[in-house]
Amino acid sequence: MRFSGITPSGHAQLGNYLGAISHWAAAGGARDLYFVSDLHAMTTSHNPAGLRARTSEMLAVLIASGIAPERVFVQSDLARELGALTWLLECTCSFGEAARMIQFKEKAGGQSGVRLSLLTYPVLMAADILLLGADEVPVGEDQRQHVELARALAKRFNSTYGEVFTVPEAVLPPTGARVRDLADPARKMSKSGRDAAGVVFVLDEPDLIRRKVRRAVTDAESVPAYDPERRPGVSNLLEILAACTGTSPRDVAEAYGSYGALKEAVADAVIETLRPVREGTLALLADPAELDRIRKAGAARAAERGEHRLSSALRLIGAG
Ligand code: ATP
Ligand code: MG
């Protein structure tokens, strides 16, 4: 079973949709699960009301993107189970193992004032994966080391206390566009960046999307060509258009004789690709009772799927 999540550290952006969410919606595994990892959005300073709103929004985006409602849940709805399992796994993990996570080193920058959860969040991530018995975890390169930790902890727990966890494996996500920031094509598009000028959000209105695409940074040439190394801005636009229309960036390049025409086509394609997602999300957000019903059902199903592993793990380690 495949298992993946998205952290509501900001509003969902085009890269999240083209690079992850749309693939999750297309993969039809009956037991696959996707979750909004809101507990992971608390490892640095956060605003509670903002987090709660973005969590609901992200859940609605996943469903509006076509992921079946019975395959989604919100992480904090399993906070009790995950908290308990995280503790067992922290008792299986060494300090050195956690401290050598590259992301921790990068984000902590040696500061002792950082939240302890910044250090331990890969262990919570291991709990996410192991509680539900996931065997395939599609992740980007930046999360690979964390899945390796989950593997190591699963194997160690199983051999020390008894077999309970499926040993998960990181799988490469389907090759999709690596969407770059429209205002700064040297960077990838991100939901939590400081500057949102070059970020297309899934819920942006069509006019705003068009303005952002028109302002996209390109280069001094005038005819589109696909050359990601030397012409990252225009190549990014070609990749976005190709991803939205199911073609290849090189084929797309041949169809447009000017940057102006290309930008209008990109704006049209992005607007049409995101339109049903935006409309579906807004409809769900306008019906909080329905969203809440979906959320509760998802939480109950996920909790039920993890229950026996948590009780076995507690029993095997000498508790409960
Ligand atoms: P953050 O700034 O909080 O890291 P993010 O936008 O980078 O946010 P993640 O939560 O890190 O998003 O990733 C969620 C999923 O979206 C992952 O599968 C990741 O590979 C994918 N993703 C994120 N940004 C892009 C992008 N620009 N292009 C393609 N896929 C992306
Ligand atoms: Mg990221």
- CA 31 to ligand 2 centroid distance, Å: 26
**Which residue is catalytic, options 188, 212, 263, 296?**
188
pLDDT at 177 exceeding the cut of 90: no
If pLDDT is split at 50, 70 and 90, which confidence band does 176 have?
Answer: low
3-state secondary structure of 320: coil
Atom of ligand 1 nearest to the CA of 188: 27
pLDDT digits 0-9 by tens, 255-287 = 999 999 999 999 999 999 999 999 999 999 999
Amino acid letter at 161?
A: Y
CA of 91 to the centre of ligand 1 (A): 30
Q: Give 105's pLDDT tier (boundaries 50, 70, 90).
A: very high
Of the ligands numbered here, which is closest to the C-alpha atom of 41? 1
For residue 10, the CA-to-ligand 2 centroid distance in Å is 10
Ligand nearest to the CA of 188: 1
Between the CA of 118 and the centroid of ligand 1 the distance, in Å, is: 18
Which amino acid, 14? L
Ligand nearest to the CA of 170: 1
R_g of the chain, CA atoms, integer Å? 21
User: Is 107 a known active-site residue?
Assistant: yes
Whether 191 sits among the annotated catalytic residues: the reply is yes
Taking the domains of the chain in order of start, what are their residue ranges?
3-177+288-317, 206-283
The average confidence (pLDDT) of the chain is 95
Which pair of structure tokens corresponds to residue 28? 């039809």
> Taking 90 as the threshold, does the pLDDT of residue 139 lie above it?
no
Q: Which of 37, 38, 36, 43 is nearest to 60 (CA)?
A: 36
- Residue 24: per-residue pLDDT: 93
User: What is the pLDDT averaged over residues 150-164?
Assistant: 98
Q: For ligand 1, pick from 190, 200, 235 the residue to mutate: most ligand atoms within 8 Å of CB.
A: 190
* Residue 10 Cα: closest atom of ligand 1: 3
If DSSP states are collapsed to H, E and C, what string results for 123-185?
HHHHHHHHHCCCCEEECCHHHHHHHHHHHHHHHHHHHHHCCCCCCCEEECCCCCCCCECCCCC
DSSP letters for 61-128: HHHHTT--GGGEEEGGGGHHHHHHHHHHHHTTS-HHHHHT-HHHHHHHTT-TTS-HHHHHHHHHHHHH
Q: For a pocket test of ligand 1, which of 16, 58, 67, 244 has the largest count of ligand atoms closer than 8 A to its C-beta? A: 16
Pocket-forming residues, ligand 1, beta carbon under 6 Å? 6-7, 9-10, 13, 15-16, 18-20, 140, 173, 177-179, 188-192
Share of the chain above pLDDT 90, in %: 93
Residues 182 and 184: their CA atoms lie apart, in Å, by: 6
Backbone angles phi, psi at 226, to 5 degrees: -90, 110
pLDDT band at 195, cuts 50/70/90? confident
For the question of an ipTM over 0.95, the answer is yes
pLDDT at 215: 97
Instruction: Say if CB 134 and CB 165 are below 8 A apart.
Output: no
- Which whole-number Å values give the CA distances from 2 to 31, 59, 142, 274, 297, in the listed order? 8, 18, 18, 25, 19
Is residue 105 annotated as part of the catalytic site, yes or no? no
Report domain 3-177+288-317's class: alpha beta
Mean pLDDT (whole number) for 79-95: 98
Other CB atoms within a 10 A radius of the CB of residue 80 amount to 11
- Spacing, Cα 34 to ligand 1 middle (Å): 15
28 three-class SS: coil
Tens digit of each residue's pLDDT (9 = 90 or more) over 106-117: 999 999 999 999
Average pLDDT of span 42-66: 97
* Poorest-pLDDT segment among 138-152, 172-186, 286-300: 172-186
| Residue with token string 């503790």 | 87
In CATH terms, the fold of domain 206-283 is Tyrosyl-Transfer RNA Synthetase (1.10.240)
**CA-wise closest residue to 298 among 35, 2, 80:** 35
